[in-house]
Structure formats: C-alpha cells, structure tokens
Amino acid sequence: MRVNENNDTVSIAEFLKDSLNNETGHIYLRMALGFKQAINQGVVKAGFRLPAHRILADALDVTPGTVSRAYRELAKMGLVVSRVGDGTYINDENNRQRLDDEFTNVPATYAHFIDLSRNLAIDFGTANLISQAMDALQKDQSQLAALIGYTPDTGIDAYRHSGALWMNQCGISVELDEVVCTNGAQHALMCALMTLLKEGETLAAEFLSYPGMISLAKRLRLRLAGIAMDEQGILPAALDAACSKQKISTLYCTPSFQNPTSVILSRERREALVDVCNRHNIMIIEDGAGSALAPAQIPALKNLAPERTVFISSLSKVIAAGIRVGYMAPPRSLLEHVAKTLRATSWMPNPLAHGIASHWINSGILAAVAEQQKIEIQRRHMLVVPHLKSLEYNAHRHCGQLWVKVPAQWRTGELVLALKKQGVLVLPSNAFCVDKRAAPRYIRVCLTGALDDASLVRAAQCIAATIQGT
C-alpha cells in the first residue's frame, strides 16, 4: 500500500455525525464510538490515515481539542497508532493493542508466515542437548534431589560459578560471588529496575531500544527518557544534555549488537558514556544478551565501571529461549538488594533449568553452539545479500538482525502491513521507540526466524520487491 494523502474527510465526518447526534455522553467519547463503528463496518480500513485534528474539527463543528481526546481514546482501545509528525493510523486487526503491549512471545495466528520479526537462536539440536544434560544430572542422584527443593535466592553456588564462567567467556570480568542466577534476562532486567529505581523516577535508554524493557518500565511506572543516537550508537553528549534538564538515576543500554540497529558501540564512545555516568552519578544496566556473539575485543561497560554497572546475560540468543536461564552481575554493594528483589519476584531461580545450563557451560557445549550460531548467521547474511543489494541497511555478520531503511514513497506501517499480506513478518521502528517522537523510517528484519534457506530467500526477495515497488 503506497502513501495516500487524499483522506476522505467529508465521508468520515458524515459517518461520525450519526454517533454525535444519536448517542449520549461526552462528545469525544461519541466520536470515538463512531470511529469504532466505522472500523468494524469496514468504512475505514487498516492503514487509513485519520484526518488532521483541525480539519476534522472544522468538518464536525467541534474543537481540535475534542478531536485530540477522541483520537487518544481510540489509542487506548488499541484501534489506532499515532506518531508525532506522521499522523494517526488505523491499526491492522492483528495489532490492535496498546503500543506498550506489543512485546509478545509467539503469536499463534502467525504459524503460516515467514516470521522475521523475532531475533531467535537457530536450533542446532537443542532437544537432544537437553536430553543429554538430563542424563548427566540423573547420574548424581544427590544433586538431582537438591534440584527439587528450595535453593538459595541467588542460585546454587555451583550454578553461579557456571554463570561467572560464561560471562568470562563473553569477555566480562566477574567473580562467582558477583553473579546472581535468574529466570531469564527479562527477569534479571525486572530485578535490576526494581532494585535501582522507584516509581516515577527516570530511566534513560537509547531512543530506539528493546521493547521488553519499554514494556517493563511502563508496568513499573517509570519515566522513560530516550537518548539520541547516530549511526554509531548512543550519543554520550545527548545523555549529558538530558541530565541537565531532568534527574536521571539509571541508564539502560545495549553496547554490543544494539537492538534494533545492530550497532556495536566503540571503545571511545563507551568510555565517554561511562564518564557522563560518573559525573552525574548514574547507574548502568548493560544488556549483554548478544555479547556471546559479538567481538570481545571491546571492553564491556561492566569492565569499565564495575562499581555502577549491572550486567545482564542469558542463553536466549545462543541456544534456547524456553530454558529461561539468565545471569546478572550487579555491583557487590547491591547484591543483598538484588537478592531480596529476586526472592520477592520468583522466590528463587529455577534450579533444574540452571542445572541444564551449567552442564552446557561446564562441558563447553554452550561455547561450541555460540560458534555455530556465528557461522550460521554469517552464512545467512551471505544468502540474502544478493537479494537486498538495492536496499540501505545496517548489519553485522554475526548479528541475526538487519536494520533496513524505508524509502520516502512508503510509510513504515503500511510497508509492514504490505509485507504481512504477502506472508512475511517484520517489525516497524515504532515498536522500539522509547518515547513519542517521530520514529525513523526503518524496519527490523531478523534472519534467524526463517525455518529454511528457501523461506529466507523468498522473504528477502519479497522485502526487496515490495520496497522497490516491483
């Protein structure tokens, strides 16, 4: 669907007048009800751009403020999505939910699509690896018996040791007593946010950031401050400027394989970022989900500022998202607070899952699978490059996602919808926006979601052809 600026304001105004004349209650609520009826009856369809506030206000003889309230009510219903500078659009029926609810797992209705919307670990026989790990655990009945009871809130020491070993292999300098076992990286992130911030306090993050963080921050009623980025990642000067305007207590960022841009922050910029945080006394949550696949020669923020950085790691991008194993390394001064938060949110990390993960780490299986992931991701890049050569995008050969620029003739949401109609799922940039400023014209395409080469090539061809209009 190409951009269409010729919205039929007269027709939609006539339809809305019935609700305004025949219903009771506040005018803005009657307008919202009228729009809902128009959507349900097919008068306006997904991708339709609603009239500008003042134009519709003139057509209905109401105030622009009334139209604004009606549009906000539609957004609460999940019927529309709006962006500063780009307008308000009717949502696709499969996406009619609040923006902060867009962080989802497996949408059951998408079973027949080529799903390039999620960055997944490629399966290298994980089911067999789980079976082998269970066999190893069964050989030690005393150890197995310990896994079915309560365990320390920060995890069994042997499993914390495995977590420290895994972080060390990823280039993170930590000791056993600094590591806390968690039920996945999302759980670790929740514990970090609950430990470091109180309701109403401000969390800074890259302007484009992980949707799971955005959703969680909103659930915890934290304020979010989006920090400007350029092609090299987050701008330390922008964080410094933001600190002069508001009190920022914590920064969340992903220095290696940033989500969604795939950028790796340079050493110079990491050092500058740490300098800003030191001067303004800002704590850092470093998302290291992709660290196992990223080059290790650039020091992590945790290595540069251990006393103010909470490092988070998991196995989701390497071997198995469903195992729900994560690790976090907070400053030692926060260990007791983190332990209390972990106990309050899940009582303890899942000992059986961590037993499996520890077997993989200690035996070298996890490191070997990480190398397989890098090789396969690089191969998939080489597979799609010939089909995407006409497009502008940012990528790294060991990162499973592409950040693809959307040309001027397309609106990002309409392009995503057009691809979906052809059976290809991708994510628009607004899914990653921390605040309400206009989203950049990009889509995220994940190469790891395709089940086979033929599907991946077909999806790449579809994306290129659709964007080019051929």
Is there a domain that residue 1 lies in?
no
Name the pLDDT band for 85 (thresholds 50, 70, 90): low
Mean pLDDT over 406-431 rounds to: 92
Quick one: angle between helices 351-363 and 126-138, nearest 10? 100
Which range, of 41-55, 281-295, 351-365, 400-414, averages the lowest pLDDT? 41-55
Q: How many domains does the chain have?
A: 3
Taking only the tens place, the pLDDT of each residue in 190-208 is 999 999 999 999 999 999 9
Q: Which residues contact 152 (CB under 8 A, 6 or more apart)?
A: 348
Q: Indicate whether 346 and 387 sit together in one domain.
A: no
Q: Indicate whether 359 and 371 sit together in one domain.
A: no
Q: Which helix (H) or strand (E) holds 304?
A: helix 301-304
Report pLDDT for 32. Answer: 86
Contact 236, 269 (CB under 8 A): yes
Report pLDDT for 9. Answer: 73
Buried b (16+ CB within 10 A) or exposed e, 164-188: bbbbebbbbebeeebbbbbbbbbbb
Q: Indicate whether 82 and 114 sit together in one domain.
A: no
Q: Indicate whether 183 and 195 sit together in one domain.
A: yes
What is the DSSP annotation of 189-222? HHHHHHHH--TT-EEEEESB--HHHHHHHHHTT-
Mean pLDDT over 388-414 rounds to: 93
For residues 90 and 137, what is the distance between their CA atoms, to the nearest angstrom? 53
Instruction: Quote the tokens at residue 300.
Output: 């992590």
Q: Which helix (H) or strand (E) holds 253?
A: strand 248-253
Q: Indicate whether 83 and 105 sit together in one domain.
A: no
Q: Which range of residues forms the domain containing residue 416?
A: 99-123+367-468
Q: Indicate whether 439 and 308 sit together in one domain.
A: no
> What CATH number did the domain enclosing 179 receive?
3.40.640.10
Percent helix, strand and coil across the chain, each to the nearest 5: 50, 15, 35
Name the pLDDT band for 239 (thresholds 50, 70, 90): very high
Of 264, 340, 267, 334, nearest to 304 (Cα)?
267
**Checking DSSP bridges between strand 309-314 and strand 326-329, what pairing results, if any?**
antiparallel
Owner of token pair 């999940």: 78
Q: How big is the chain by its Cα radius of gyration, in Å?
A: 24
Is there a domain that residue 356 lies in?
yes
More confident residue, 320 or 401: 401
Report pLDDT for 4. Answer: 40
Report pLDDT for 2. Answer: 37
Q: Indicate whether 37 and 137 sit together in one domain.
A: no
Specify the DSSP class assigned to residue 228: P
Neighbouring C-beta atoms of residue 274, cutoff 10 Å: 21
Mean pLDDT over 96-101 rounds to: 41
Burial of 422 (0-12, 13-18, 19+ CB in 10 A): middle
> What CATH number did the domain enclosing 19 receive?
1.10.10.10
Is there a domain that residue 47 lies in?
yes
Q: Indicate whether 179 and 269 sit together in one domain.
A: yes
Q: Choose from 13-17, 118-122, 247-251, 438-442 the range with maximum mean pLDDT.
A: 247-251
Q: Which residues contact 23 (CB under 8 A, 6 or more apart)?
A: 30, 33, 34
φ, ψ dihedrals at 458, nearest 5°: -60, -40
Distance (Å) of CA 372 to CA 122, 169, 259, 263, 379: 9, 15, 21, 21, 11
Mean pLDDT over 291-296 rounds to: 86
> What CATH number did the domain enclosing 424 receive?
3.90.1150.10
Q: Indicate whether 316 and 378 sit together in one domain.
A: no
pLDDT averaged over the chain?
88
Report pLDDT for 3. Answer: 35
Cα-to-chain-centroid distance, residue 416: 17
Of 389, 398, 401, nearest to 432 (Cα)?
401
Contact 358, 162 (CB under 8 A): yes
Name the pLDDT band for 437 (thresholds 50, 70, 90): confident
Is there a domain that residue 392 lies in?
yes
Give percent above pLDDT 70 in the chain: 92
Is there a domain that residue 2 lies in?
no
Torsion angle, CA of 200/202/207/213, rounded to 10 degrees?
A: -60
What is the DSSP annotation of 138-163? HT-HHHHHHTTS---TT--HHHHHHH
pTM of the model: 0.80
For residues 319 and 317, what is the distance between their CA atoms, to the nearest angstrom? 6
Q: Indicate whether 344 and 379 sit together in one domain.
A: no
Name the pLDDT band for 93 (thresholds 50, 70, 90): low
Residue 93 β-bridge partners: none
Q: Indicate whether 91 and 108 sit together in one domain.
A: no
